[in-house]
Structure 1
Amino acid sequence: MRIRLITLLLLALIVSSCGEYEKLLKSSDYELKKAKVFEYYDDGKYMKSIELLSQILPRYRATDDAEQLNWINAQAHFRIRDYMMAGTYYQTFAETYPLSNNAEEAHYLAALCDYYQSPRPELDQANTKKAIESFTIFMQRYPTSTRTDDCKARILELQEKLVEKSYLSARLYYDLKEYRAATVSLANSLKEYPDTRYREELMYLKLDAQYLLAVNSIPSKKVERYQTTLDEYYSFIEEFPESKFSKDVYRIFENTAKYLQIDTSVQPTDNN
């Protein structure tokens, strides 16, 4: 009986609260609405705060309250993880109030919103590149900021995502057995990120793709493509003489040399 009574009381409070909020939305008392914006925000009721702000911001645009209200608007959107809108509001705030005590924080949080919109590596990385640019601009604008180390760490993380994206895109053609496109894509990835942690694997895939392209070529193109395979082989073993791919690499060399009628007994290779 007591539990039922408590439940009914709670339901009554909820209904009453909803009714009060609906009345507030319809009210023309902007000062009350403004006070409630801060109250709801402090209580973590960000959606209610945002809804009220959408009503009152035009009214307070040219007043002394505008700066604080616009800041709360950006913060509330950030709290509900609407990073696209929050980033826009932070950027607008920083441009509108460049002398504000929150201007630096707004620039940083705008960049952070770009960071949170960066997708997983296999997807389009436009937002990742935008986030890197935003953090870089922030550090240039605030060279002594306490956020500098954080920005650098996030940039490195984002750059690693670009490296992985490049790797995944490069080997996609290889996995699809599109060897001509694979050689181009793998070469571009190595050129764009020469120090990538995937370098050894990418160079091996490039060699193997070139070899398989030669194998599957029409007779008139075989010699040229096998010769290119041989060049790729020498580039690979020069950089990775003790590679984990050595067995497969040497197999490619032997088959290539056989086609080109090269005496492998005089080749300085390691067939581990």
Structure 2
Amino acid sequence: MNKIIFFISVLSIPFLHKGCFTDITEKISYEDQILFEKGRRYFLSSPNFDLDQTKTKIAIEKLSQFIKDYPNSTKVKEVYNFIEKLLNKIEKKDYNIANYYFLTQKYQSSLICFQDFIKNFPKSSLKEEAMYKICVCQHKLSNRKNFIKSYDEYMKNFPYSSNAKKLEILYKN
């Protein structure tokens, strides 16, 4: 008899405490919204690419945490779009720093920055230009061995680029 009463009472708990389960669901939904809003605020406060990108990096962390914690959320697609825009800012900033060194003829610094740029953004639309400038930097630094390696890599990826002809001239010198 005790077993039957216990069984019936266990089955009735969800009905008796229906509000508790609703509160848990609402709490999860609320936490989801809070984390999304934090990430969105950081996204909106992210400055132009030419300024300090600390807030941009924090926004990426917050939004990535949202995706990790709530992968099935309806907001995931929107969060991925935010992250892509933020990464584009960092990409543009990194490229412009490397290019600044290049234009000011600080070839060693430019070389390091462009190499880091390629590592960090291997699918960048600026990859061809960065690889070209890596070759030029190595040529300007009289590093023939590394120039040839970079030249071969460049030609493998961009054989028909207008910069390929310029590099062929450097290669022959």
What is the TM-score of this pair, normalised by structure 1? 0.51
* Correspondence for 2:157: 239
CA distance in 2, matches of 1:230, 1:154: 39
Give structure 1 regions of 4+ aligned residues with deviation exceeding 4 angstroms: none
* Correspondence for 1:187: 115
Q: Which has the higher contact order (CA 8 A, sep 6+)?
A: 2
Provide closer, same or farther for how the CA distance between residues 187 and 101 of structure 1 changes in structure 2, counting only shifts above 3 A.
closer
Structure 2 counterpart of 1:227, from 137, 145, 148: 145
User: What amino acid is aligned across from residue 145 of structure 1 in structure 2?
Assistant: S
* Correspondence for 1:104: 32
Structure 1 counterpart of 2:67, from 128, 135, 139: 139
Instruction: Show the 5 A alignment for 1:35-74.
Output: none
Provide closer, same or farther for how the CA distance between residues 139 and 233 of structure 1 changes in structure 2, counting only shifts above 3 A.
closer
Give unmatched runs, 5+ long, in structure 2: 1-25
* Correspondence for 1:222: none
1:145-189 deviations in whole A, cap 9, x for unaligned?
Answer: 221111111111111122112211221210110011111111111
Alignment partner of 1:149 is 2:77: yes
CA distance in 2, matches of 1:194, 1:101: 36
What is the TM-score of this pair, normalised by structure 2? 0.78
Aligned pair count reads: 148
CA distance in 1, matches of 2:121, 2:131: 12
CA distance in 1, matches of 2:28, 2:121: 40
CA distance in 2, matches of 1:204, 1:109: 41
CA distance in 2, matches of 1:186, 1:144: 37
Structure 2 counterpart of 1:158, from 65, 68, 86: 86
| CA shift for structure 1 position 100 | 8.0
Provide closer, same or farther for how the CA distance between residues 106 and 145 of structure 1 changes in structure 2, counting only shifts above 3 A.
same
User: What amino acid is aligned across from residue 190 of structure 1 in structure 2?
Assistant: I
* Cα root mean square deviation, aligned: 1.8
CA distance in 2, matches of 1:101, 1:195: 35
* Correspondence for 1:198: 126
- Report SS of the residue matched to 1:111: helix
User: What amino acid is aligned across from residue 79 of structure 2 in structure 1?
Assistant: C
CA distance in 1, matches of 2:29, 2:67: 17
**Seq. identity, %:** 25
Give unmatched runs, 5+ long, in structure 1: 1-97, 215-224, 256-272
Q: Which structure: greater helix fraction? A: 2
User: What amino acid is aligned across from residue 103 of structure 2 in structure 1?
Assistant: D
| CA shift for structure 1 position 252 | 0.8
Alignment partner of 1:250 is 2:138: no
User: What amino acid is aligned across from residue 167 of structure 2 in structure 1?
Assistant: V
Provide closer, same or farther for how the CA distance between residues 208 and 142 of structure 1 changes in structure 2, counting only shifts above 3 A.
same
User: What amino acid is aligned across from residue 65 of structure 2 in structure 1?
Assistant: I
* Correspondence for 1:4: none
CA distance in 2, matches of 1:249, 1:145: 49
1:17-56 deviations in whole A, cap 9, x for unaligned?
Answer: xxxxxxxxxxxxxxxxxxxxxxxxxxxxxxxxxxxxxxxx
Look at both structures and tell me which one has the larger radius of gyration over its CA atoms.
Answer: 1
